[in-house]
Structure formats: structure tokens, C-alpha cells
Homo-oligomer: A and B are copies of this chain.
Amino acid sequence: MALKSELKPECFHVVEGRGVTFAKGFKSGSVWAGLKSKTEDLVLIVSDKPASAAGVFTTNLLQASSVTYSRKIITTGRAQAIFCNAGNANACNGEQGDKDNLQCAQLSAKALGLETDQVLVASTGVIGRLMPMEKIEAGVPLAASALVASAEIDERTSKAILTTDTRPKMIAVEVNTPGWAAPIRIGGITKGSGMIAPNMATTLGFITTDAQIEPQLLQMALWKAIEKSYNRITVDGDTSTNDMVLVLANGASGNSVTSDSGYDEFYAGLEHVLQYLAKEIARDGEGATKLVSVTVKGAESEQGAQKIAKTIAESPLVKTALFGSDPNWGRIMAAAGRAGVPFNPTESSVWLGEYQVFAHGTGTKFDNDGAHAYLKSSEVDLVVTVGRGTSECTYWTCDYSYDYIKINAEYHT
């Protein structure tokens, strides 16, 4: 939890049970359009007025129609609504996919009384199947006619965007500074669960805030916070065609955030929201039985720390050992050693929680039963020091269980 303390935690507090309609001037509508078999699967998140918009998107060369489309909207810095469907990724569908994606935006704009280019589109689900547009046509007006702001719709919306996630993931915070009459609110929801059956799925994140902030500054804040949250989690190293995180900031709080005023507090709140959501994705990784934080300290550079932490966090051998609650420093150090970052093993240490299991190039005489019991916890902290440098990095991951194989092997295309 080292990061938290850097973040002036006193400037914000979490508000339980709220999500994307907690910030002033946001409403959401959630309906069952028939893309998933039983549960709600189509969502509109709408601001009362045009908002600053920022986004980050998958770096995969294969990009769903929603990614190429929404990326273009984000370059304008403005948007007012998000259309999201779960159950069909509309990826690898060629020109028809692009047309259908545009139609999702057009249908939403019409139902909401907006211009098409004010509507961002996000999709998740099966790839390579055409979007069932008649279902979308029927669903969008229903969602648009049911827009509301409430704890209940926050929860429904957080569930409607899921695919194989085992639980919804949402958070809301209030951020205060002495200069503001009232707090700024930030709310968010996410889905993930790694790449998921059927075929694969997607990390989506939607953040709403009533801060008044220019698009460029919002985008900078998002990039920075993504680096310390979504870009620090790994379930299986695979990325999807559909990943995106979107932020809308509509200014309804009346509080202005600029690089000179209120930015640090706003950023702290945003980073907390993104970090919480990202960790919830790792915790809910396919088949996961525990959330694991991998911190590398003492590195010569942050990039080096990151490479080592990522290699450990993605090592199948480390992840299976964690499933078995095995204090296996050999696998951890072997993963560190192949990360491509020079360090001296004789200056390295490995801690599993309180248990130092490796020091000065060799295993310590540690309490094996105690370490084994610790690793059975639902949250496990793994710390590796690789020298006397001052750089560090934390990754969050989960263990590999039988269920990871089951979930990913038993689906048939």
C-alpha cells in the first residue's frame, strides 16, 4: 500500500455503494437487449451536458470497430454519452462491423437527442460474429427512456457490462480541497477477468466526474493514472481487441481543476478509483483464488523495476506456486533473473509478507509452515529487492488454478 500514502489519502474518501451516476449531472440506463442469455447487457451512460472526454485504448494490432471509432471521438476531447453492450465484441467483422458500430452511436444519439459524434461506443463479448442490430435497435430507446441517477442504477450498470466476471466492480469517491465549495465526485465501473471465454474478452472501464477540467489535462491525468493501475495488472499477459477506459468530466460540480489548482487532489482521487478498479480485475482473474501484489524495490530505474515485476507477475510457475501456497523463492528469483534487467542476485531479497525467504543469493532458514499459511491468504504481498537503487514498481496479479484451465479450455468456438 505504499502508493496510497503518497497520494494524500486525506483529500478524498470513498463513498460506498455508488458508481457512475454518483457524480452530479450523470444518469444511466441499463436494459436486457438479448445479447447475453439472461442478464442486462446494454447500457447508456449520459451526461446532462457536453463533457470533456479522455480515453485509453488497446495496443493490440487487432482492434474492434468500437476502438477505432471511439479513439477518433476522443481526439476531439468532447463527448456526452457512452453506449456499451456486453455479449458481442463486434471485432474482426470487417466493414459491416464498422457500419454496425456507427449505427450503435447513431441509434443512441437519436434516442438521447445528441449528435452522433457525442456518443462513445464500447463493446465486449464474442468476436467474429455480426452484431444483432435488431436487438440493439430495440434496446437503445428502452435504455434511453429509463435514464436515472441512483445507487440502484449504479449497481445494475456495473453488472450489465460484465461477461464472465464473477462479480461487479465499482467505486465512487469524493475529493475535497480547501478552495472548493463542495467536493468533486468521481465514480467508476469496470469489467475484466483477463481474456475470457467465449473467445476472449475485454477490459472496459468507465469513469464519470463532475470536475470542470480541460480535455488535455484530463487525458494527461488519465494516462498517468492508467500507468499506475490498469497497466500494472496482469492476469495472463494477453490483451484484447476491445480494451478501453473512458472518462467523462462534465463540470457539474462547479469546481475547476487546472494544472495550478486542485489538480493534485483530483489526480489522487482519479488514481485511487482506477487503482481500486484495476486491482478488482486482478482479484477476479479467471479462476483466481487470491490477489497478489508483486513489488520490486531497489532497482536502478523504474523501467527496470517494472520489467522485473511484470516478469514475476506473469510467470506461470510463480502463479501456480501461489495457487499451491508454496513459498517457492526459486521460481520468483528465476523469473526475476530472466527479465532482461541486470542486477546482482547476491544483493537481492525476497519477502512473502513478513517472511524473508531469500537473502544474499541464497534461501534463508524461514518458518516454512508460517509462510505456507500466509500464502493461503486472499491477499498476498510479494516483495523482491534487487539492489540499492531507489526505483520501485508494484504489479497486481492472481494465481493460476485448475479453474483457469477449465474456464479457458472448455469453451468451444
Contacts and interface: CB of A to CB of B under 8 A. Distances in A.
A333 B195 CA distance: 13
B405 A331 contact: no
B326 A200 contact: no
B326 A412 contact: yes
A199 B61 contact: no
Contacts of A195: 317, 331, 334
B60 A320 contact: no
Interface in A284-324: 314-317, 320-321, 323-324
A391 interface: no
Given A409-B326, A411-B324, A411-B326, A316 B361 contact: no
Given A324-B410, A330-B199, A92 B128 contact: no
Given A61-B336, A337-B60, A321 B409 contact: yes
Nearest to A318: B238
Nearest to A360: B94
Interface pairs A-B: 4 shortest CB-CB: A324-B409, A320-B408, A61-B337, A128-B363
Nearest to A410: B324
Given A62-B334, A317-B200, A402-B402, A361 B92 contact: yes
Interface residues of A, number: 62
A247 to B, nearest CB: 24
A93 interface: yes
Given A315-B237, A342-B61, A405-B405, A200 B323 contact: no
A329 B333 CA distance: 34
A327 B413 contact: yes
Contacts of A336: 61-62
A209 B408 CA distance: 45
